[in-house]
Structure 1
Amino acid sequence: MPVQPSSAETAFSLAALWHALGWPLLRLLMGMAAGLLIANVLEALRWTRHLARLAAPLARVAHLREVAGASFSLAFVSPAAANSLLSDSHNLGELSGKELMLANLFNSLPAYMVHTPTIFLLTWPVLGMPAVVYVGLTLMAAIGRTAFTVVLARRILPPPPPGCIACKADSDERTDWNAALRKAWKRFTRRLPKLVYFTAPIYVLMYLMQQFGYFALAEQWLSQHMSWLSFLKPQAMGIIVLHLAAELGAALGAAGSVLQTGGLSARDVVLALMVGNILSTPMRGIRHQLPSYSGFFRPALALRLILANQGLRAASMTVVTIIYYYASA
């Protein structure tokens, strides 16, 4: 009677490894690399600046001053330039502390839009249609933050004197394609190794954990100690932990792995990424925003701006996640 191979032997045969691990991982890395390159080109060419025309009517509705409208327009091109403009105006006494806080929150949508191509082109090769849902939800949250700020500012600020709002963001300079492409390639070559170093080991690790049944053990632990996240499947915990400990690329590698192996559904993956995004908000603010904000504002003021910005961000993401959880059930 022939001896049947064990499930482990079947799972780790060369053919099985190539079809279940090697080829999906290679396709994942190729797609992420292509997406990263395209996103860098789009950012280098500054094609998001055409959205700056939205600033004038929206700023008038919000009762924000001319400089806040110009900052909103500049944030579509460079959030750092927008913060620099707000800082200069605040130091000159043109913006009060309250107006500065509201102007900074007002920039939530354009600051997010600058990075939307990168986020989408990194998530799409990994997740497919769930990437559309995830990016759509985060975009909805960004729109909600700016809309909330508009309503809040209109209620507490008097109408500003009339003036030119979008003029500071207008530019007649022609796009230097050669310079933009060189800049995009330089960014690409600098970020690609980090992307590969994080993604490949994480993908392999998640595959091994799936094969050896560690998620079954995690399910038992989750039921005993993580009741507040019991609406998530145990496979989602790895995605959340990686979102907390590393960049989005690492969490995407884990999400792509469990999605390919059937450990999580598309809805589960989206929820895991959203929860990881929310829980990583404090670390993101300290790690990414505090150094850059401290370059434009006094440390205490920078910290207050970050707390308000990230607090509103977490709240908006939570609301959107709850809506998606019940709407997709």
Structure 2
Amino acid sequence: MELDLSWPVLWNGLFWPLIRLTFFISVGLLVGNLIESLQWTRYAAKLADPLARRARLKDVSAASFTMAFFSGITANTMLSEAHEKDIISDRELILSNLFNSLPTYFLHLPTIFFIAAPFIGAAAATYVGLTAFAAVIRTMAIVFAGKFLLPPLTEGCLPCRLKEMEEKRDTRSALLKTWKRFKKRLPKVLYLTCPIYTMFFVLKQLGLFAWLESFMAGGAGLFTFLPPEALSIVAFHMAAEFTAGLAVASALIADTALTQTQVILALMLGNVLSSPVRAFRHQFPYYAGIFRPRMAFKLILYNQLLRCLTIALVGAAYALIAA
């Protein structure tokens, strides 16, 4: 397959997405640095204190959990800054990133629901509810794992110790510190993000990701517990996008070829099979700009493994209950 380097393709597929990505990463860096400079992380951490305390996570991880409800980039920036300063270890960074599964999902939940509802009606609420429940399980699993994988918190690093916040803060110096750190960090982010995003654009143009998704879609026939009509939802979900799978599901529901349960199971299966490739394609460029590339790869890998496992478990439980 030849590269299409025409201006519309370059603008829509590379330059404009890269401009948007750079803008949001810049905003995330600024906000994250400002929050840390003003020491607002302690206030934010207080909201997630009960969970973080049980997971043996420090205050910056608890604050990142709270911020993930509003901005995933800001939440990850806070973790990256703490990791570079050796405030949190590699293990705690990974667990903290996985800990944010719930707020990260809820950040996108309204969009997912309002896209799905016009296509599959009442089934959208069930599908979104099941995937949200899987996100809750992921976060609870990390809380449980933290009790065994992380050392007990010492008195000096318990979440939400607010003593230092009683001191008067110099807003001007905090702003100057934020801007100085931003100017130092942003070039490093762009140095990694731009070439990686460009590489992924070229690979997409060469058809690598389309081939991977088609290859995985070809294996949909292995799942004989679903009728052939439902497998078409899985195939379209993987070979195209989430909306394509919803469109097929809508047509099959209208034709009464499938039950609501079968449609939901097909969408969940498509979710499990298609997400890893898409997550790596879309997330790695910006993750590699925030974290070290090796750590970025590990974070995406662990996130997808845990995500696929929990969605598969919830889907299997739903199939047994609905049978």
1:236 aligns with 2:234: no
| Contiguous gaps of at least 5 residues in structure 2 | 1-43, 164-217
The residue number in structure 1 matching 2:160 is 164
Distance change (3 Å), C-alpha of 1:159 and 1:77: same
The residue number in structure 2 matching 1:93 is 86
1:296 aligns with 2:290: yes
**Contact persistence 2:48–2:62 (CA under 8 A):** yes
> Where has structure 1 moved over 6 Å in runs of 4 or more?
none
**Contact persistence 1:53–1:166 (CA under 8 A):** no
The residue number in structure 2 matching 1:130 is 123
Quote how far apart the aligned CAs of 1:154 are.
Answer: 1.4
Counterpart of 2:280 (choices 269, 276, 286) is 286
Quote how far apart the aligned CAs of 1:276 are.
Answer: 0.2
The residue number in structure 1 matching 2:140 is 147
Distance change (3 Å), C-alpha of 1:54 and 1:326: farther
1:55 aligns with 2:48: yes
Paired letter, 1:143: V
The residue number in structure 1 matching 2:245 is 251
The residue number in structure 1 matching 2:302 is 308
Counterpart of 1:78 (choices 55, 58, 71) is 71
Quote how far apart the aligned CAs of 1:55 are.
Answer: 1.1
Distance change (3 Å), C-alpha of 1:165 and 1:248: farther
Measure the CA separation in 1 of the matches of 2:143 and 2:241. Answer: 31
**Contact persistence 1:244–1:283 (CA under 8 A):** no
Comparing 93-102 with 287-296, greater Cα deviation is found at 287-296
Quote how far apart the aligned CAs of 1:53 are.
Answer: 6.4
Measure the CA separation in 2 of the matches of 1:163 and 1:65. Answer: 5
Distance change (3 Å), C-alpha of 1:236 and 1:301: same
Distance change (3 Å), C-alpha of 1:53 and 1:91: closer
| Contiguous gaps of at least 5 residues in structure 1 | 1-50, 168-221
Counterpart of 2:61 (choices 61, 68, 78) is 68
Quote how far apart the aligned CAs of 1:164 are.
Answer: 2.2
1:318 aligns with 2:312: yes
Distance change (3 Å), C-alpha of 1:54 and 1:144: farther
Quote how far apart the aligned CAs of 1:269 are.
Answer: 0.5
**Contact persistence 2:45–2:60 (CA under 8 A):** no
The residue number in structure 1 matching 2:95 is 102
Q: Which SS does the other structure have where 1:280 is aligned? A: helix
**Contact persistence 1:130–1:270 (CA under 8 A):** yes
Counterpart of 1:267 (choices 261, 264, 268) is 261
Quote how far apart the aligned CAs of 1:91 are.
Answer: 0.9
**Contact persistence 1:55–1:165 (CA under 8 A):** no
Q: TM-score normalized by structure 2?
A: 0.65
**Contact persistence 2:45–2:59 (CA under 8 A):** no
Quote how far apart the aligned CAs of 1:292 are.
Answer: 1.8
Measure the CA separation in 1 of the matches of 2:45 and 2:152. Answer: 21
Paired letter, 2:72: P
Quote how far apart the aligned CAs of 1:163 are.
Answer: 4.2
Measure the CA separation in 1 of the matches of 2:49 and 2:239. Answer: 40
Measure the CA separation in 2 of the matches of 1:154 and 1:226. Answer: 38
The residue number in structure 2 matching 1:5 is none
Higher-Rg member (1/2): 1
Query: Superposition RMSD on alpha carbons, in Å?
Result: 2.1
- Equivalent residues in 2 for 1:190-201, closer than 5 Å: none
Q: Which SS does the other structure have where 2:52 is aligned? A: helix
The residue number in structure 2 matching 1:34 is none
Quote how far apart the aligned CAs of 1:148 are.
Answer: 0.2
Distance change (3 Å), C-alpha of 1:276 and 1:165: farther
Paired letter, 1:294: A
Paired letter, 1:322: A
The residue number in structure 1 matching 2:206 is none
Structure 1, residues 53-95: CA drift from partner, whole Å, max 9, x if none?
6412111111101110010010000011101111111111111
Distance change (3 Å), C-alpha of 1:226 and 1:309: closer
Paired letter, 1:263: A
